[in-house]
Amino acid sequence: PVYRVSVNVQRFESWPGSHALIDAVWSVRALDSQTVMTCRSVLNEPVGDGYDALVVGHRRAVADLSQAISSGVRALAATPQVVMPTTKSNAKAAPRVKPPVSIACPQRMPAAASAG
């Protein structure tokens, strides 16, 4: 199967000595069935003083985001395929386009994430 992943970062905050935050809306689409999942993850990592700590915090946030997206791909892969019925009368007609089917975001997200 082929999946298309899209990520739109809404916020990317860096507060040295406080936190590193990534707020992203992401979607996964199965190209063969047009099934789509759209989710939001807000990842807020506490960080210590200094830029090195801030970089580590952003690395953790990006890793958590990638885990959320991979959970989405796995959930989409486990979803039954939606097949458009065909009848004898329309078997020779032009193929019908399948409407996109939305599925819910995965329930289990990284501890610092929330889904929308």
34: left (phi over 0), alpha (psi -120 to 50) or beta: left
Q: What is the pLDDT of residues 61-95, one digit of tens each?
A: 999 999 999 999 999 988 876 554 555 555 555 55
List alpha helices for the chain, DSSP H.
51-78
pTM of the full structure: 0.75
Q: What is the pLDDT of residues 9-53, one digit of tens each?
A: 999 999 999 999 999 999 999 988 878 999 999 999 999 999 999
